[in-house]
Structure 1
Amino acid sequence: MALALLEYLDSVKERDPAARSRWDVILYPGAWALLYHRIAHWLWVGKLTWLARFVNHFSRFMTGIDIHPGATIGKFFFIDHGFTVIGETATIGDNVTIYQCVTLGGTNPSTGVGGKRHPTLEDNVVIGSGAQVLGPITVGAGGRVGANSVVTKDVLPNTTVVGIPARPVPVDLVHYSPGFIPYGTPCGEDVDPVRARLATMEEELAELRAELASLKTRQRPRPESKVS
């Protein structure tokens, strides 16, 4: 138990440069929210749903983080800051990082049957602050969701998506931040899908203008030579 706690604290410290020691991490609301969720989930699985919800509400009051007792969470899960909502059927893998004000939200089942309504985050996923990941979709292993993005479709493994709706960024991210990318958001204008698309359209427009100018030159009538 003690070794598992130390491993968890070290995993958080590796992802947060503001944590100067394990004692800092112990005070994080995300660490306490995870502890409360482990208790609530154990009660939920044991069919003690009212007690599970009570622990859930107490945790939300104490930490500002709302994790439904039914959510399944793997090892070394880290919520940086708080004000995050995680739905009942959400599934979270190992080494996942979520920043503040994130929602793992569900869809409204038209059949009236709950089923799988919330996202699945595979291992080593990073969700940036303010992102909304909605529905029974999957963010593949190593995937990153940029800040304030809205994700409603699956994200392929090792892919970074940004924007509303979220789209994959068009460049290799190693240049910007090899390995772990804080907030899941690469910095640089050329990783904006809209800007990249505009740049592509400008190149295509320049090529069309060049072709049009060439056609005009070839179709221009040649001056008649004078007969002496």
Structure 2
Amino acid sequence: MFSRIKEDIKSVFDRDPAARNTFEVLTNYPGMHAIWIHRLSNKLWRNNWKLIARLLSTFSRWLTGVEIHPGATLGRRFFIDHGMGIVIGETAEIGNDVTIYHGVTLGGVSWNGGKRHPTLEDNVVIGAGAQVLGPITIGKGGKVGSNSVVVKDLPAGATAVGIPGRIVNPNKSNDASEQREEVAKKYGFDAYAVSADNPDPVAKAIGRLLDHMHLMDNKVAVLCKEINQLGGEVCQEALPELRVGEFDEDEKAAAKRRQSHVESFDPEI
């Protein structure tokens, strides 16, 4: 039991940069408390102590704001971040290293008995407010965007967003996205959310810029190689590192200048 708790705590540090120490996790993470209580209620449920299991589950809901039916199956290193408003149904099955955020529902769409709740395979991430409904499967490494409603199976490695959920990056090799990430790292840029299928127009524009930079880099590299073969000496120095913080400093300096202009302004002139 204690080894599982230590494993749970380690998973929090791996996925939540706000976690500072073990005592803080033990005392201030209701998602963890809900999981630990569920392990006991699930054992009672499987041993046919169903009323006591439901009472313990209800107590956990009152204590943590997370409702997990005692019949649900939870994998190892399951992490509930923030926790409030989460509902996990009786026949839900959750794999290892799964992360879900507040306001998520793993619910059913039928009053019929049997399997009626979702299955989340390993390494799935469900964003805040998302609704995953019915006896569907979210494949290994799948992601569901915040406030999305998913009612159909999601392939492994795919991402679903919107209402109803639609796949925005099918599970296939995307050379363009990989190239963008490489170029972004080269120039010191965080390439988060610049995939070719991202619906954000700003992210798409940044992605196009990265594509252009990648093409220009390749062309310059070819030109440099040809010139060097002819006896020239070009492109010997590496590109200077682009520090994002420099832009922050420039913006702060500009804001300070603007403020000084405002303070020196005389309305009577």
Q: Report if the CA contact (8 A) 2:77-2:96 is conserved.
A: yes
Question: Can you list the C-alpha shifts for 1:199-222, whole angstroms capped at 9, x where unaligned?
Answer: xxxxxxxxxxxxxxxxxxxxxxxx
Moved over 6 A (4+): none
Counterpart for residue 118 of structure 2: 119
2: CA distance, partners of 1:87 / 1:141:
20
Report the number of matched residues.
186
TM score, norm. by length of structure 1: 0.75
Name the residue aligned to 2:136. Answer: 137
**Is residue 75 from structure 1 mapped to residue 84 from structure 2 by the alignment?**
no
| Alignment gaps of 5+ in structure 1 | 177-185, 196-228
Which stretch shows the higher mean deviation, 120-129 or 158-167?
158-167
Note the aligned Cα RMSD (angstroms).
2.5
Instruction: Judging by fraction of residues, say which structure has more helix.
Output: 2
Equivalent in the alignment of 2:14: 14
Superposition deviation, residue 193 in structure 1: 4.9
Distance in 2 separating the partners of 1:164 and 1:66: 24
For 2:86, the equivalent position in structure 1 comes to: 84
Give the corresponding residue for 2:204. none
* Separation in 1, partners of 2:64, 2:153: 30
Q: How does 1:15-164 map to 2 (within 5 A)?
A: 15-27=15-27, 28-82=29-83, 83-109=85-111, 113-164=112-163
Higher relative contact order (CA 8 A, sep 6+): 1
Distance 1:189 1:95 in 2: 24
Matched residues in 2 for 1:13 and 1:132: separation?
26
CA distance in structure 2 between the aligned counterparts of 1:26 and 1:194, rounded to whole angstroms: 38
Partner of 1:223: none
Secondary structure, aligned partner of 1:72: coil
Whether contact under 8 Å (2:149, 2:164) holds in the other structure is yes
Alpha-carbon distance in 2 for matches of 1:3, 1:127: 26
Output one character per residue of 1:82-102: Cα deviation in whole Å (capped at 9) or x when no partner: 120000000000111000000
Conserved in 2, the CA contact under 8 Å of 1:167 and 1:193? no
- Alpha-carbon displacement from aligned partner over 1:101-153 (angstroms, at most 9, x marks no partner): 000011214xxx41000000001100000000000000001001010110000
In structure 2, what is the Cα distance between the partners aligned to 1:40 and 1:95?
A: 21
Amino acid at match of 1:155: L
Kindly indicate whether the alpha-carbon contact (under 8 Å) linking 2:159 and 2:169 is maintained by their aligned counterparts in 1. no
Aligned partner of residue 62 in structure 2, secondary structure:
helix
**CA–CA distance in 1 between the matches of 2:103 and 2:14?**
22
Once the two structures are aligned, what percentage of the paired residues are identical?
Answer: 54
Name the counterpart of 2:188: none
Per the TM alignment, residue 194 of structure 1 is displaced from its structure 2 partner at its CA by 9.1
Q: Unpaired segments of 5 or more residues in structure 2?
A: 182-191, 202-269
In the TM superposition, what is the alpha-carbon distance from 1:21 to its structure 2 partner? 1.6
Distance 2:97 2:78 in 1: 5
Using the alignment, how far apart are the partners of 1:67 and 1:190 within structure 2?
37
The Cα of 1:189 is off from its aligned counterpart by: 8.9
Paired amino acid for 1:24? E
Separation of aligned partners in 2, 1:134 and 1:55 = 25
State the Cα distance separating 1:2 from its structure 2 match.
Answer: 2.8
Q: Deviations over 1:152-202 (max 9, x none)?
A: 0000001111111111114856667xxxxxxxxx7459644597xxxxxxx
